[in-house]
Amino acid sequence: MTVKQISIFLENKPGQLAKASRTLAENGVNIATLSLADTTDFGIVRMIVDDHEKGYEVLSKAGFTVRQTEVVMVKVADRPGGMAELMEKLDTAGVDIEYAYAYALGSGDTAILIFRFDDNAKAEAALAS
Amino acid sequence: MNVVELRKMQLEKLQELIPYEYERVPLFRRRCDEKGVKPRDLVTLKDLGKFPFMIKTDLRDEYPYGLTAAPMKDIVRFHCSSGTTGKPICIPSTKNDVDIWSEGTARCLAMYGITKDDVLQVSYGYGLFTGGLGAHYGGEMLGCAVLPTGAGNTEKQIMLMKDLGVTAIACTPSYFLHLADVAEKMGVDFRRDTKLKHGIFGAEPWTEEIRRRIETMSGITAHDIYGLTEIAGPGVAGNCPYCNGLHIWEDHFYPEIIDPDTLEVLPDGEQGELVFTTLDRRGTPMVRYRTRDISRLQTEPCQCGRTMRIMDRIHARTDDMLIIHGVNVFPSQIETGLMKVPEVAPHYQIYLESTDTLDHFEIRVEVVSEAFSDNIRHLEELRKRVLVAVKTIIGLTPKITLVAPGTLPRSEGKIKRVIDNRRK
């Protein structure tokens, strides 16, 4: 399934991520998972929150540069080979992964991954097959 | 006025000015004597080249009254320019000096198509700086309804602009960019919500690319006004709707172009340092004042029919030139490169710092909000494009840092785009 992800453009200055997290906290927005991608000059925080509309709004108001992107949430069997099978399906369909990160969730026999594909619809179709 | 009459008038004015200055200003007299040149040696306009120059440090050294030629009973106004590096410069003016300057500004406004029906908001700083009062007096002379907001308190300025039906604004180009940012945040669209048609921009160097950005973004016509405190203030020259440059009001301000190294006068059409002589000023006359601005006097006649010569827009001030890794670089060249990339906002800063090896040279630039991608590859690709655009012009490879919109400092007056922390 596709979900909305919020990305924030951050300068590599101390306190930036703290400020963003505090803004969400003060507005009662809960972060389900996040990934931090960075270069030497700037970072991009990508996160899945419980209320992405509100999260987007409060961060924009606080002066952050924010984007909403559709990403794909995929369940993977939590056993050796689970990931390989998934990747093979995508490979066969000719889908490129732009980035991926794991969703933190309680224990169980499945893991959840967040993907951004070059073509989300095509990837979803491949995964459903 | 035809060119022959104009040259005759200039010569007559010079033949009055030079003896006046020689009698009243000891520094000028001393320098003339050292060069062995007497006021009577001025027989043709060409002879002006025999007389000594004045430079900015003369104004500092002679502060406060060394270059003042008129008695205090005739002085009505002072303007001073900031003395960030020591003593300020001070220009006492007579009533007629102020009138001539106001006339220069009024002529510029009229040339831009502004009339007494216009409402002119003056957002230049008022006070010792010439911008505010210069535009104010020029606007009043033309008969505009002048709104003297001065710089700062931007939200209120935008409210007044809307409510009073302001049609023209005079400010620095960097302040207008700031004003546009704030207007956007307030949900004010210049096209939809205001009657603004004209922007009169000066007091800092700006490029053609920034002019286009301003026009596209706000729907106004951006006019260029040139001036400097040492000579008058904004209103010495301005652009007409036809010319690719600025007509100089040379019946009052006589221009020359010199080679800054040999100090020889260059013929029209050649690029060099702009030098002005104030033909009518009597409070603080300037003879051959070196502006440090790099320009050229154009030779082609203007379609508008004005015979006053056109100078190229000021792209570079010799003062602004940076020597980076041994290469001469003007901030305006960097601006031209940056503005070629549409995702780049017109806000940037140039940072220089000494290191043990090659000096650190960095350009921090804001990206427009729409250009932000959650994909690092896209941003890296954008950074590479910015680098290529700058590198193509200056031949150096600065470190390009992309920053979020609204994070670089904004200015309400003249903006400081270069932070040079190198050991001197």
Question: Do residues B45 and B52 make contact, with C-beta atoms less than 8 angstroms apart?
Answer: no
Q: What is the mean pLDDT of chain B?
A: 93
Both A6 and A66 in one domain: the answer is yes
Minimal Cα–Cα distance from A129 to chain B, Å?
Answer: 28
Both B157 and B170 in one domain: the answer is yes
Q: What is the mean pLDDT of residues B4-8?
A: 96
In this complex, is the C-beta atom of B187 within 8 Å of any C-beta atom belonging to chain A? no
Q: What is the mean pLDDT of residues A77-81?
A: 84
pLDDT for the residue B407: 85
Q: In what order do the strands lie in the sheet with B289-296?
A: B253-258, B271-278, B289-296, B316-317
SS (H, E, C) B201-239: ECCCCCCHHHHHHHHHHHCCEEEEEEECCCCCCEEEEEC
pLDDT range class, residue A105, cuts 50, 70, 90: low
Both A50 and A36 in one domain: the answer is yes
Among candidates A41, A46, A64 on the partner chain, residue whose Cβ is nearest the Cβ of B374 = A46
Both A80 and A53 in one domain: the answer is no
B376/A44 CB distance under 8 A: yes
Minimal Cα–Cα distance from B206 to chain A, Å?
Answer: 27
Q: How far apart are CA B276 and CA B270, in angstroms?
A: 16
Query: Which residue range(s) make up the domain with A48?
Result: 2-70
Tens of pLDDT, residue by residue over A80-101, are 888 898 899 999 999 999 899 9
Both B93 and B177 in one domain: the answer is yes
Name the residue with higher pLDDT: A76 or B16.
B16
Chain A: residue whose CA lies nearest to B401: A41
In this complex, is the C-beta atom of B271 within 8 Å of any C-beta atom belonging to chain A? no
Q: How far apart are CA B29 and CA B12, in angstroms?
A: 20
Tens of pLDDT, residue by residue over B213-249, are 999 999 999 999 999 999 999 999 999 999 889 999 9
Q: Residue B48 has what DSSP assignment?
A: G
pLDDT range class, residue A106, cuts 50, 70, 90: low
Both A56 and A44 in one domain: the answer is yes
Regarding beta strands A42-49 and A65-77, do their DSSP bridges make them parallel or antiparallel, or are they unpaired?
unpaired
pLDDT range class, residue B423, cuts 50, 70, 90: confident
What is the CATH number for A98? 3.30.70.260
Domain count for chain B: 2
Q: What is the mean pLDDT of residues B324-351?
A: 92
Among candidates B369, B375, B376 on the partner chain, residue whose Cβ is nearest the Cβ of A65 = B369
Domain count for chain A: 2
In this complex, is the C-beta atom of B404 within 8 Å of any C-beta atom belonging to chain A? yes
Q: How far apart are CA B147 and CA B231, in angstroms?
A: 25
Both B136 and B185 in one domain: the answer is yes
Q: What is the mean pLDDT of chain A?
A: 88
Both B271 and B235 in one domain: the answer is yes
Among candidates B372, B374, B407 on the partner chain, residue whose Cβ is nearest the Cβ of A11 = B407
Tens of pLDDT, residue by residue over B86-102, are 688 999 999 999 999 99
CA-based nearest residue to B230, from B296, B274, B172: B274
Tens of pLDDT, residue by residue over A58-74, are 999 988 999 999 999 98
- Which of B288, B318, B348 delimits the end of a domain? B318
Among candidates B369, B374, B403 on the partner chain, residue whose Cβ is nearest the Cβ of A44 = B374
Question: In a 3-state reduction of DSSP, which class is residue A27?
Answer: coil
Both B272 and B346 in one domain: the answer is no
- Which of B283, B318, B353 delimits the end of a domain? B318
- Select from A3, A6, A7, A9 the residue whose CB has the most chain B CBs within 10 Å, as the one to mutate to test that interface: A9
- Select from B185, B369, B374 the residue whose CB has the most chain A CBs within 10 Å, as the one to mutate to test that interface: B374
Both B338 and B278 in one domain: the answer is no
- Select from A65, A101, A118, A120 the residue whose CB has the most chain B CBs within 10 Å, as the one to mutate to test that interface: A65
Among candidates B374, B380, B403 on the partner chain, residue whose Cβ is nearest the Cβ of A7 = B374
Both B250 and B305 in one domain: the answer is yes
Q: Is the pLDDT of residue A17 over 70?
A: yes
Both B237 and B224 in one domain: the answer is yes
Both B163 and B208 in one domain: the answer is yes
- Which of A42, A70, A98 delimits the end of a domain? A70
Both B98 and B242 in one domain: the answer is yes
Both B308 and B326 in one domain: the answer is no
Minimal Cα–Cα distance from B186 to chain A, Å?
Answer: 12
- Which of A50, A70, A90 delimits the end of a domain? A70
Sign of the Cα pseudo-torsion (A16, A21, A22, A23, in order): positive
Minimal Cα–Cα distance from B307 to chain A, Å?
Answer: 51
Minimal Cα–Cα distance from A11 to chain B, Å?
Answer: 6
Q: What percent of chain A has pLDDT over 70?
A: 95
- Which of B318, B335, B359 delimits the end of a domain? B318
pLDDT range class, residue B15, cuts 50, 70, 90: very high
Number of other residues whose CB lies within 10 A of the CB of residue B97: 25
pLDDT for the residue B374: 83
Tens of pLDDT, residue by residue over B23-43, are 999 999 999 999 999 999 999
What is the CATH number for A24? 3.30.2130.10
pLDDT range class, residue B152, cuts 50, 70, 90: confident
Those residues with Cβ within 8 angstroms of residue A21's Cβ, 6 or more apart along the chain or in another chain = A31
Question: Do residues B54 and B286 make contact, with C-beta atoms less than 8 angstroms apart?
Answer: yes
Minimal Cα–Cα distance from B360 to chain A, Å?
Answer: 15
Q: What is the mean pLDDT of residues A6-23?
A: 88
ipTM of the complex: 0.77
- Select from A41, A68, A101 the residue whose CB has the most chain B CBs within 10 Å, as the one to mutate to test that interface: A41
What is the CATH number for B249? 3.40.50.12780
Number of other residues whose CB lies within 10 A of the CB of residue B85: 7
Both A78 and A114 in one domain: the answer is yes
A41/B374 CB distance under 8 A: no
Query: Which residue range(s) make up the domain with B25?
Result: 1-318
What is the CATH number for B413? 3.30.300.30
> Which positions in chain A have a beta carbon within 8 angstroms of at least one beta carbon in chain B?
5, 7, 9-11, 37, 39, 41-42, 44, 46, 63-65, 67, 69, 98-99, 116
Q: How far apart are CA A111 and CA A79, in angstroms?
A: 9
Question: Do residues B398 and B388 make contact, with C-beta atoms less than 8 angstroms apart?
Answer: no
In this complex, is the C-beta atom of B96 within 8 Å of any C-beta atom belonging to chain A? no
Question: Do residues A124 and A86 make contact, with C-beta atoms less than 8 angstroms apart?
Answer: no
Q: Is the pLDDT of residue B83 over 60?
A: no
